[in-house]
């Protein structure tokens, strides 16, 4: 065996996305102790940078030391108690995982379902909230990576608050790709991932909690069943003036990478980053149309960073082979369809550092040749 040396690949699937060399460089800097004063300074800067990315003043904003799925579990494990009713919107794979989380926390999931490829229906949610007055939390996925759909998070939060509910929002794929306005929208708990539009290695999950969410957690009657994800314990590590107590050992060099990628985001500016995703999405769409390919999602609900391409019937028998050829001969990774959309769509990501003219060209040229 030798050292592992993968060749460069253009990652245009549902994540991970390609990473700016500045971020990879940051990761290779000397390790320091996780309670070293310099590291604590870094933690404080990461929290401030995350508040910018999330557009929030929430004090409880930090990266969970594990991938996006752990951010999801952090939200549900802390906010849901046995017996609690939670309204879960399902319009793709990740809404289904929210339901699973509610059940595992001992909660009761009330489900609003919409067809894959369409956004969460506000009318159905309003009806369900009226029909189920005991619902305490509304949970939804802002950007469904399995379909490429963006739902109206602001309108959903307004409905939730009108019915006295808290909100849990999955913004793993939306953060830094399209507007995510935690405070303006009144979102109570949100989680994201490092490897999508933030363009950092996978393994960290930025989360943020409102004062209302923290109050809700304080009033719990039962202990949080997860020790690792219990916010009251984690926060002694991630905050506190002066003394910080050991909770777990943070993935130190991964935090260097997150810090650098968030710094890049702040240097570019959120608005510029959103506009860049939109520009390259439009270029990709125009090129795909020239190849005779169209998108699954209606224009009003499309995510620029996750393009679901309908596979023409004639190509369906060869769809897996086409992806294999793209990877083997063009070092290009695109995503397959998931669940109900397996074999029906390809998912082409333009996430973070990967939302570039170069990637759009690489993808269109490779597809043209292979098709």
Ligand X SMILES: *Cc1c(COP(=O)(O)O)cnc(C)c1O
Please give the residue ranges that form the binding site for ligand X (CB under 6 A).
Answer: 15, 67-69, 94, 141, 145, 170, 172-173, 193, 202
Q: How many CA atoms lie within 13 A of 133 on its CB side?
A: 0
Between CA 175 and CA 287 the distance in angstroms is 26
Q: Would you state the structure tokens that stand for residue 333, as one six-digit string?
A: 């990774």
Cβ atoms of 138 and 167 within 8 Å: the answer is yes
Residue 171 CB, shortest distance to ligand X, in Å, is 8
With helix as H, strand as E and coil as C, how does 298-325 read?
Answer: CHHHEECCEEEEECCHHHHHHHHHHHHH
Considering beta carbons, is residue 15 or 337 the nearer one to ligand X?
15
Considering beta carbons, is residue 10 or 91 the nearer one to ligand X?
91
Q: How many CA atoms lie within 13 A of 12 on its CB side?
A: 33
Residue 370 CB, shortest distance to ligand X, in Å, is 26
Considering beta carbons, is residue 94 or 209 the nearer one to ligand X?
94
Considering beta carbons, is residue 99 or 163 the nearer one to ligand X?
99
Q: How many CA atoms lie within 13 A of 61 on its CB side?
A: 25
| Bond preceding residue 16 cis, omega within 30 of 0 | yes
Considering beta carbons, is residue 171 or 366 the nearer one to ligand X?
171
Question: What's the CA angle centered on 193, arms 272 and 66, to 5 degrees?
Answer: 150
Cβ atoms of 145 and 174 within 8 Å: the answer is no
> Which residue's Cβ lies closest to ligand X?
68
Considering beta carbons, is residue 135 or 172 the nearer one to ligand X?
172
Considering beta carbons, is residue 102 or 366 the nearer one to ligand X?
102
In terms of Cβ atoms closer than 10 Å to its own Cβ (0-12, 13-18, 19+), residue 300 is exposed
Residue 100 CB, shortest distance to ligand X, in Å, is 12
CA-to-CA separations, 213 to 99, 102, 165, in angstroms, rounded: 19, 16, 10
Residue 110 CB, shortest distance to ligand X, in Å, is 20
Positions of E strands within the chain: 10-12, 60-64, 85-90, 108-113, 135-141, 143-144, 149-150, 166-170, 189-191, 205-209, 306-310, 332-336, 345-349
Residue corresponding to tokens 């060209």? 361
Residue 143 CB, shortest distance to ligand X, in Å, is 6
Q: Would you state the structure tokens that stand for residue 84, as one six-digit string?
A: 């609690």
Residue 249 CB, shortest distance to ligand X, in Å, is 20
Considering beta carbons, is residue 42 or 190 the nearer one to ligand X?
190
Residue 188 CB, shortest distance to ligand X, in Å, is 18
Residue 170 CB, shortest distance to ligand X, in Å, is 5
Cβ atoms of 287 and 365 within 8 Å: the answer is no
Other CB atoms within a 10 A radius of the CB of residue 267 amount to: 8
Residue 159 CB, shortest distance to ligand X, in Å, is 21
Considering beta carbons, is residue 194 or 364 the nearer one to ligand X?
194
Size of the chain in residues: 371
Considering beta carbons, is residue 125 or 168 the nearer one to ligand X?
168
Between CA 28 and CA 253 the distance in angstroms is 7
Residue 191 CB, shortest distance to ligand X, in Å, is 8
Between CA 294 and CA 45 the distance in angstroms is 42
């Amino acid at each position: 065996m030798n050292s592992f040396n993968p060749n460069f690949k253009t990652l245009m699937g549902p994540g991970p996305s390609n990473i700016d060399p500045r971020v990879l460089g940051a990761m290779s800097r000397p390790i320091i102790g996780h309670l070293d004063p310099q590291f604590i300074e870094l933690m404080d800067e990461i929290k401030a940078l995350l508040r910018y990315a999330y557009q929030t003043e929430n004090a409880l904003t930090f990266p969970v030391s594990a991938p996006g799925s752990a951010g999801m579990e952090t939200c549900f494990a802390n906010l849901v108690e046995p017996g609690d009713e939670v309204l879960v919107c399902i319009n793709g794979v990740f809404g289904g995982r929210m339901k699973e989380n509610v059940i595992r926390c001992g909660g009761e999931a009330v489900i609003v379902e919409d067809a894959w490829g369409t956004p969460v229906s506000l009318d159905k949610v309003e009806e369900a909230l009226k029909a189920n007055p005991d619902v305490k939390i509304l949970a939804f996925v802002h950007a469904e990576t399995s379909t490429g759909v963006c739902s109206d998070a602001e309108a959903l939060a307004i409905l939730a608050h009108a019915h006295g509910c808290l909100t849990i929002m999955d913004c793993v794929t939306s953060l830094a790709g399209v507007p995510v306005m935690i405070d303006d929208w009144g979102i109570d708990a949100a989680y994201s991932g490092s490897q999508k539009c933030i363009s950092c290695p996978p393994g960290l999950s930025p989360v943020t909690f409102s004062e209302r969410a923290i109050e809700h957690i304080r009033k719990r009657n039962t202990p949080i069943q997860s020790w690792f994800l219990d916010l009251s314990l984690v926060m002694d590590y991630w905050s506190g003036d002066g003394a910080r107590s050991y909770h777990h050992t943070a993935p130190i060099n991964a935090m260097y990478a997150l810090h650098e990628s968030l710094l890049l985001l702040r240097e570019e500016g959120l608005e510029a980053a959103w506009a860049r995703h939109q520009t390259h999405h439009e270029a990709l769409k125009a090129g795909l149309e020239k190849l005779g390919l169209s998108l699954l999602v209606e224009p009003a609900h499309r995510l620029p960073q996750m393009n679901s391409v309908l596979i023409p019937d004639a190509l369906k028998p060869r769809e897996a082979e086409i992806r294999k050829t793209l990877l083997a001969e063009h070092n290009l990774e695109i995503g397959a369809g998931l669940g109900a959309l397996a074999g029906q769509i390809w998912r082409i990501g333009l996430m973070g550092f990967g939302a570039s003219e170069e990637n759009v060209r690489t993808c269109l040229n490779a597809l043209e040749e292979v098709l």
